[in-house]
Amino acid sequence: MSPDEIRGMAEREREHQAGRSCVLQVCTAAGCQPMQSVEIKTALEAEAKARGIGEHQCQVKSVGCLGLCGSGPLVRREPDGAMYQRVTPGDAPAILDSLGSAPPTHLFLDTRQPFFARQTRIVTANSGRIDPERLEDYLAAGGYATLARVLTEMSPQEVIGEITRSGLRGRGGGGYPTGLKWSTVAKSPGTPKTIICNADEGDPGAFMDRSVLESDPHRMIEGMLIAAYAVGASEGYIYIRAEYPLAIARLKTALRHAERHGLLGNNICGTRFNLRIELRLGAGAFVCGEETALIASIEGNRGTPRPRPPYPAERGLFGHPTLINNVETYANVPSILERGGEWFAGIGTERSKGTKVFALTGSIANTGLIEVPMGITLRDIVFEIGGGVPEGARFKAVQTGGPSGGCIPEQYLNTPVDYESLMSLGSIMGSGGMIIMDDSSSMIDVARYFMEFCMTESCGKCIPCRMGTVEMHELLGRFLNGSAAKADLDLLEDLCEMVKSTSLCGLGQSAPNPVLTTLRYFRPEYDAALAAGGR
């Protein structure tokens, strides 16, 4: 499609949509789908038809995640934005009755509550608004217009300059400056250059990337296209875990549509820019999210990390310079180029710019997906947006960064969410999993849970991680069954330090973090376990 054709198609779709007086948006993402949301959509369509309400009056539309997954299945109504919660297929008549008035009380979901009001939506701007399986919907929301402008009006250096100005940092966990990574790949000699999207998302409790891909796959693809243009890549891969069938299906649809309309392949937007994107399915090994293991896996080898440097930017897939970024990182790109790096840099803190998507789970009133500006405090996320821990329980800790992160206690809840602050607490930003724990959880148990995860997910290549996790898991078990001695505590601390300092890749290097933070903030629990064991 030429830029004019993109504009024309978007215009036609917008006119078409403007003709509808009401749209019912039904979440059919993986959160609501197991709770019959597809049946709800069918029921709504059947009910509308039975009442003789035509598509132009009220359209029932399949959309991606609406955020508050814990209250699902969710339905949203346009144009007023009212929402219905815990909907069942049997509610279809009640919903159609309520068009034009407030939803019935048992279905009513207050959209003025902080959960919705305190969010800043960039990556999730279209989530729950557009039909992820229709290219036209994305175009109508302004999609691919930025790509067309970038390809026809900007040089690759200008694109990289804009990303650098924006201050965007990698959302896959490490927080590496994206502009710097892009310029390294752009400067690295060797062709063909490759671009990879890391959609492996293996942290327990994390589902941000899945949601982005299920709700707005074209946004990520557009981000990848812009990145490929900026670094000069012509081959692309999306590495996604096979456990995400819906995300895979929607990605495939999106890739097919993009190809058919000349947004992928040769001469994209009528320019000389070419990019092919292939999908690669991961078999569910956490370590395959580590970039060098992921690359080995795409190459057809066993997915184990290798020492860096050389970094993939210099020597990546099949030895070629390779750009690898996370789903959310790419999904930020179209907005940055549309509105400018300055605009993006205006959101967030001094060193952490923009927004971050978090998956709230655990002992919290509002379970679901949120996008918040960097710099918001943990307290605001947990107690304002998340609605606090449910009645009768007391907040104990919030865990960020999954198995690589740490448990943060109440006294640090006023800490702003940014890469450096979380790191200074012994945790990490991570990819966005946030698990809230109340006073019923034993922190030693939590530490052991994550250690068990690392132990079974260790690739086994290096001994500190392969055996260190086994030993730490065993020692934590002694604290739980009351057989720990003081010497075990010393050994545990030694092991944490050794495994962190000597492991080959990030998995081993960060595996001790949950233990270290619980030792730092919840030491009395360990001491109590020692005392209880009488040693």
Ligand X SMILES: Cc1cc2nc3c(=O)[nH]c(=O)nc-3n(C[C@H](O)[C@H](O)[C@H](O)COP(=O)(O)O)c2cc1C
Please give the residue ranges that form the binding site for another protein (CB under 8 A).
285, 302, 306-307, 309, 455-471, 474, 491, 494-495, 498, 501-504, 509
Name the minimum Å distance from CB 410 to another protein. Answer: 31
User: Which lies closer to ligand SF4 via its Cβ, residue 66 or residue 295?
Assistant: 295
Q: Is 179 in the site for ligand SF4 (CB under 6 A)?
A: no
At residue 188, the 3 state secondary structure works out as: coil
Q: Which residue of the chain is nearest ligand SF4 when measured via CB? A: 508
Q: Decide: is 289 part of the binding site for ligand X (CB under 6 A).
A: yes
Q: Which of residues 497-526 bind ligand X (CB under 6 A)?
A: 505-507
DSSP notation for 427-461: ---TTSEEEEEETTS-HHHHHHHHHHHHHHH--SS
Q: Which does 307 bind (CB under 5 to 8 A by kind): another protein, ligand SF4, ligand X, none?
A: another protein
Does position 82 interact with ligand SF4 (CB under 6 A)? The reply is: no
Contact 143, 335 (CB under 8 A): no
Region near ligand SF4 per CB under 6 A, out of 165-173, 352-360, 364-372, 502-510: 502-510
Return the one option of ligand SF4, ligand X, another protein, none that residue 324 interacts with (CB less than 5 to 8 A, by type). Answer: ligand X
Cα 87 to Cα 27, 387, 438, 450, distances in angstroms = 11, 21, 29, 35
Q: Which does 494 bind (CB under 5 to 8 A by kind): ligand SF4, another protein, ligand X, none?
A: another protein
DSSP letters for 391-430: TT--EEEEEESGGGSEEEEGGGTT-B-SHHHHHHTT---T
Q: Give the shortest CB-198-to-ligand X separation in angstroms.
A: 4
Question: Which is closer to another protein, CB of 435 or CB of 511?
Answer: 511
82-90, 312-320, 473-481, 501-509 -> range binding ligand SF4 (CB under 6 A): 501-509
- Please name which of 146, 132, 180 lies closest in space to residue 160, comparing C-alpha atoms: 180
Q: Among 123, 185, 505, 529, which residue interacts with ligand SF4 (rule: CB under 6 A)?
A: 505
* 264 binds ligand SF4 per the rule CB under 6 A: no
CA-based nearest residue to 222, from 275, 175, 176, 172: 275
Tokens 């918001």, located at residue: 376
* Binders of ligand X in range 413-452 (CB under 6 A): 431
Which residue shows structure tokens 């539309």? 61
CA dihedral 292, 294, 296, 302 (to 10 degrees): 120
Report the alpha-carbon distance of residue 519 to residue 451 in Å, rounded: 14
Interface with ligand X includes 47 (CB under 6 A)? Answer: no
The site partner of 379 among another protein, ligand X, ligand SF4, none (C-beta below 5 to 8 Å per kind) is none
DSSP 511: T
Chain centroid to CA 142: 22
Q: Which residue has the tokens 């955020």?
A: 67
Q: Which stretch binds ligand X (CB under 6 A): 16-24, 245-253, 323-331, 470-478?
A: 323-331
Amino acid at 280: R
The single residue among 13, 290, 418, 488 that binds ligand X, judged by CB under 6 A, is 290
Helix 523-532 / helix 513-521 crossing angle, nearest 10 deg: 80
Place of tokens 């080995």: 296
**Residue 173 or 236 with smaller CB distance to ligand X:** 173
- In the window 430-459, what residues touch ligand SF4 (CB under 6 A)? 458-459
**Nearest Cα residue to 322 out of 304, 334, 306, 310:** 310
Binding site for ligand X (CB under 6 A): 170-174, 176, 198, 200-202, 286-287, 289-291, 324-326, 329, 431, 505-507
Binding site for ligand SF4 (CB under 6 A): 287, 304-305, 458-462, 465-466, 503-505, 507-508
